[in-house]
Structure 1
């Protein structure tokens, strides 16, 4: 077999999926392997700048068919509430003939996918190997994906830690994902079919951090499991932080600003959004909040609490658009990151110097937050009421607990965060994982060739 392989990538139509697939594509491209990257037409402009090896990585677009229930023109998850995930997944399923045409024409050796559970069938038909790339922490895979799963608050035999389990009070975290139990069942079925049919499972996890969970997952799946390690993006030093934010942040003391962002899919209820704003105000610290307008509103301004803008003028900004999150986190004035603890944000927070406060929104994020706060002890999770909502006071208290220089808790999480950041950014760790992955992929392809 030739020493270089050709991989096709077809991630779920969401920023939090396309971006890490591209990080992996760049690692393969850096080593001289070819990647054909499929994504919706509208997403191309948003992501093509992340291609660091255009000689090796080529984008191809798919046309996303319309599905009843979705607004016309929807192509990515950022255009819809998370409860419409199943409808967009149905639209993705309808792209199968386009994908088959690409595979027939290009004859890739490997096909990477996540939501498109039919990819293993396509791969088999055209002599490729399928890789199910799970963009979940090993803890989340162990809790939500492993056959048999976990009941609320009950660890199955061999499960590594009771600290990260979902509890009955976390039932709120299930609601945003689906409108009904049928929706849940459909999503679960999709994951199960993907895992069952694929040739190999790839998990975005790092054994140095999640060793016991990685071992548990390996024992539970009767299939080869690969781990990416800390698949961190290469910093593009040619793109600076937008002047609007570098100028604003530049007006504050080092480590004093609280930055809050909840990802591209979180749409809050208006009352909870206002509680978030008021909690930020109560800290007395400068803050930048970047979240989508809450449900039922079209702009951030119309949803702000009465008199809020006047009271925080000069020290607080609430922004409804996209921001350069990694660049903001690396700005010297930013000292705290209030996050929903999605997978991408989890890793970005770990490699930052910021204190970490977590407000998870859905089940996978709750598990990530427990892992960060209870297992690694690098962050603080905001306390919630039985309804699943948080109060402005609980948000303020969590931020103050890590930002207060005399706080025992703040010093403990800072110390642990520094230790784990050094581990995952240590020279050679990420490249070691990438080299091992490439060898595993080559073995997979060679085995197929020999088998034929």
Structure 2
């Protein structure tokens, strides 16, 4: 709740926030999947959502539209009950919307022929996506979670529109593909890149990182962060530390306590109580003193990526991190962990060509030698320079998209006009 309130503090004062009452999930088993838990919490909040919409109507200020994300997609039915348009806010890559259209039919075909999906599928822009790079739940074909995803992927067609946090120039082929598939699909509106800004409290909390960056040469620091919940195994944590040490490059590393599963900390961060610095190899801080800064659990990512000393970013390939690195023109080492991140890594390396991707060994670990090599390739090699040049063009396109006459500005204005007309 604290993190949510921190985010809300950055919203304009013209936006009112309503907190729906907490719901109980005590009846669920202790080992329930995080995404299933989230879905249940949202569904059980629907009665309170109906009460809120009813109150607005009774006050003479009825809602003009309802915007939901994928986990709350059944709220589309609530919008219909109240006679208001429903929009899906798609917070990850537009390319996944293409999967929403393609995969249900492919899975039906495979099921009818009693075979597994083995061959890569081709995404818009001739990007080949292998089944092992599908979002996690898509490969668990016999699970209830997979059935839920397939349901969501069909349900989104009932929305009046899809708002995506991307921009036309970034995923042009995906937008073209979705437009070609209409009618039968809702219109898609790119309104990004929407990235958050640090609150005053966060800026103060991150002052140590900024002060350290101020003393480093331009474009010399590799930022290493796996997002707000991404974690590594103990073995992988150790290999990353030794790889950074071997590279000889400057780095700013946000460390989190190791976990057995990469996704364990996303919805369960409260359970991590160990000091992550305790897991560092012996004398690591001593050996890297002066060229490395290690911070526990959190860093002001926007301030770091926008800083002139930052020259590279090791990322878990979360969509928000991708957009932030794009806006600030920071080249990437793609290290996907879970969810849709492997698909994002394919898009970065094969589509945009703005990242170098790590490769796990037969034990699922990225070794220290490879880490050291990739870091040096990105930070001081010609490959890294080529990526920077490509990112420079994408960065300019991102700025234009949000300009007064930009594609994202026009798309958002069109959506708002539709909401006004629906009253």
TM-score band (shorter)? 0.7 to 0.9
Report the CA distance between 1:299 and its aligned residue.
2.3
Specify the alignment match of 2:65 in structure 1.
Answer: 110
Report the CA distance between 1:162 and its aligned residue.
4.4
Specify the alignment match of 1:305 in structure 2.
Answer: 281
Specify the alignment match of 1:24 in structure 2.
Answer: none
Instruction: Write the distance in 2 (CA, Å) between the matches of 1:190 and 1:318.
Output: 43
Report the CA distance between 1:193 and its aligned residue.
5.3
Specify the alignment match of 2:153 in structure 1.
Answer: 192
Please show how residues 221-240 of structure 1 align to structure 2 within 5 Å: 222-233=184-195, 240=203
Specify the alignment match of 1:99 in structure 2.
Answer: 49
Specify the alignment match of 1:7 in structure 2.
Answer: none
Specify the alignment match of 2:114 in structure 1.
Answer: none
Specify the alignment match of 2:240 in structure 1.
Answer: 276
Report the CA distance between 1:178 and its aligned residue.
9.8
Contact 2:313 2:330 in 1 (8 A): yes
Instruction: Write the distance in 2 (CA, Å) between the matches of 1:69 and 1:314.
Output: 51
Residue among 34, 45, 51 paired with 1:84: 34
Specify the alignment match of 1:154 in structure 2.
Answer: 120
Runs of 4+ in structure 1 deviating by more than 6 angstroms, as ranges, are: 69-72, 177-180, 236-239
Residue among 425, 437, 442 paired with 2:399: 425
Q: Deviations over 1:278-297 (max 9, x none)?
A: 22112111211114311166
- 3-state SS in 2 of match to 1:132: strand
Query: CA separation of 1:140/1:224 partners in 2, compared to 1, >3 Å: closer, same or farther?
Result: closer
Report the CA distance between 1:420 and its aligned residue.
1.2
Report the CA distance between 1:445 and its aligned residue.
5.8
Scaled by the length of structure 1, the TM-score of the pair is 0.77
CA RMSD of aligned residues (A): 3.1
Instruction: Write the distance in 1 (CA, Å) between the matches of 2:199 and 2:18.
Output: 26
Moved more, 380-389 or 370-379: 380-389
Report the CA distance between 1:366 and its aligned residue.
1.6
Specify the alignment match of 1:17 in structure 2.
Answer: none
Query: CA separation of 1:263/1:181 partners in 2, compared to 1, >3 Å: closer, same or farther?
Result: farther
- 3-state SS in 1 of match to 2:281: coil
Contact 1:132 1:194 in 2 (8 A): no
Specify the alignment match of 1:395 in structure 2.
Answer: 371
Please show how residues 315-354 of structure 1 align to structure 2 within 5 Å: 315-354=291-330
Residue among 51, 63, 67 paired with 2:25: 67
Q: Deviations over 1:364-411 (max 9, x none)?
A: 22222222222222221122224543222222211111211xx33122
User: Unaligned stretches of 5+ in structure 2?
Assistant: 57-61, 108-116, 261-271
- 3-state SS in 2 of match to 1:207: coil
Specify the alignment match of 1:57 in structure 2.
Answer: 15
Moved more, 197-206 or 129-138: 197-206
Query: CA separation of 1:82/1:401 partners in 2, compared to 1, >3 Å: closer, same or farther?
Result: farther
Residue among 350, 360, 381 paired with 1:374: 350
Instruction: Write the distance in 2 (CA, Å) between the matches of 1:217 and 1:179.
Output: 26
Query: CA separation of 1:181/1:320 partners in 2, compared to 1, >3 Å: closer, same or farther?
Result: farther
Residue 48 in 1 paired to residue 12 in 2? no
Instruction: Write the distance in 2 (CA, Å) between the matches of 1:230 and 1:119.
Output: 24
Report the CA distance between 1:119 and its aligned residue.
0.9
Instruction: Write the distance in 2 (CA, Å) between the matches of 1:181 and 1:305.
Output: 41
- 3-state SS in 2 of match to 1:223: coil
Report the CA distance between 1:352 and its aligned residue.
1.6
Instruction: Write the distance in 1 (CA, Å) between the matches of 2:309 and 2:365.
Output: 29
Aligned residues between the structures: 391
Specify the alignment match of 1:247 in structure 2.
Answer: 211
Q: Deviations over 1:36-83 (max 9, x none)?
A: xxxxx54542212211x21x20111123323248899xxxxxxxx995
Please show how residues 32-43 of structure 1 align to structure 2 within 5 Å: 42-43=2-3
Query: CA separation of 1:382/1:432 partners in 2, compared to 1, >3 Å: closer, same or farther?
Result: same
Instruction: Write the distance in 2 (CA, Å) between the matches of 1:70 and 1:262.
Output: 29
Specify the alignment match of 2:110 in structure 1.
Answer: none
User: Unaligned stretches of 5+ in structure 1?
Assistant: 1-40, 73-80
Report the CA distance between 1:316 and its aligned residue.
2.4
- 3-state SS in 1 of match to 2:18: strand
Instruction: Write the distance in 2 (CA, Å) between the matches of 1:430 and 1:338.
Output: 33
Instruction: Write the distance in 2 (CA, Å) between the matches of 1:202 and 1:149.
Output: 25
- 3-state SS in 2 of match to 1:259: strand
Report the CA distance between 1:84 and its aligned residue.
1.5
Query: CA separation of 1:333/1:350 partners in 2, compared to 1, >3 Å: closer, same or farther?
Result: same
Report the CA distance between 1:188 and its aligned residue.
0.5
Residue 132 in 1 paired to residue 85 in 2? no
